Amino acid sequence: MDATDIVTVINLSKRYGEFTAVNGISFSIRRGEIFGFLGPNGAGKTTTINMMIGLARPSGGSIVINGLDAVKYRKKAQSLMGIVPDESNLYDEMDGFDNLCFCGALYGMRKAAREKRARELIEQFDLSKAGGRPFKAYSKGMRRKLTIAAAIMHKPEILFLDEPTTGIDVESARQIRRLLLKLRQDGTTIFITTHYIEEAERICDRIAFIVDGNIVASGTVSELMESVSHGHAIRLAADKDLAPLAGKLQERFGNCSVKTGDGHTLTLFSREPIALSPVLQYLDGLGISVFEAREMRPSLEDVFVRLTGIEAARLKTEKEKGGMSK
């Protein structure tokens, strides 16, 4: 286990009879990072997180959390965790403050400490306006925020979140992403399962794609993009029609292929880095002013589709139809 790793998973598997839900996967999570776990329904996301938090026993492999064998010493490992389930487990009749204090008591916090911490989190998570309303009267976004707050009452080493922004409004989702980034800034390690690729791209330091129980790729967003990008592309936008110049550009810069856009745009492709200055000088000599020159890189969605063969829209559709990813 690397000194910078807080979690190391090696050859982890889970079988249900003849069916293999998780097939010998290995990965590590570095201390203080947000690690994203992406995949469609049935990919093995939730099965994996359930094994990591001690709700399911692995069929094989090992899980080490902060130097502790999390399979053998499940209770000790759980004391290091904060867990945010897909569906909230808080009490409907209690208000936010009482729910947090109750969770603090379960974590063994003293009364004064848990009340102080509860007040801090209610303020930090912008839940003061809820007042004494019972949890059942909260909006979906507020319910999710309070569930996250409950999971970090005891300031855990690592926070596990299963689909934290599913089914909530845009503003609440944005607030939760900001809260997660602040938690990371404060030193909390975060493991998040999600089917929102753009969300993972926005907040995760590293990401793993899981399909049919197998991790098909993992790395930083940049590393994943590099893994499928076999060349370079630059998009140009100009004040005149560029389409008639495609042939001339192709002839002049033989190492590039050219694809025209809507007339005033075109894209240069090459296996080698493209020297932009000669292209701009050539066009300027033809009396054409380029007002935009932008390097084109694949999005994380492009990477996911190329590596898995699964359209990204399918992730959202499956989740919205219901059912927790297994």
Mean pLDDT by 10 residues, the chain (326 residues): 84 96 97 94 90 96 96 95 89 96 94 96 91 91 94 96 88 92 94 88 94 93 75 84 85 82 81 83 88 79 77 56 45
Assigned fold of 231-295: Alpha-Beta Plaits (3.30.70)
CATH number of 5-80+156-226: 3.40.50.300
From the DSSP assignment, how many helices (H) and strands (E) are in the chain? 12, 14
CA-CA-CA-CA torsion sign (30, 142, 53, 12)? negative
Tokens of 143: 């319910």
Pair 10, 62: CB distance under 8 Å = yes
Distances (CA, A) of 322 to 11, 58, 167, 196, 251: 30, 26, 10, 15, 54
Residues 206 and 30: their CA atoms lie apart, in Å, by 9
Looking at residue 323, its pLDDT comes to 42
Question: How much is the pLDDT for 1?
Answer: 53
Residue 141 vs residues 46, 103, 104, 282, 287: alpha-carbon distances, Å: 21, 20, 22, 54, 54
DSSP string, 96-109: HHHHHHHHHHHTT-
What's the token pair of residue 99? 């729910």
What's the pLDDT at 210?
93
Provide the phi-psi class of 323: left if phi over 0, else alpha when psi is between -120 and 50, else beta. left
List C-alpha distances in Å: 283 to 241, 251, 275.
12, 14, 14
Taken as a whole, the chain contains a residue count of: 326
Q: Which segments within 17-147 are labelled E, that is strand?
A: 19-30, 34-38, 60-65, 68-69, 81-84
Each domain of the chain, given as residue ranges in start order, spans 5-80+156-226, 231-295
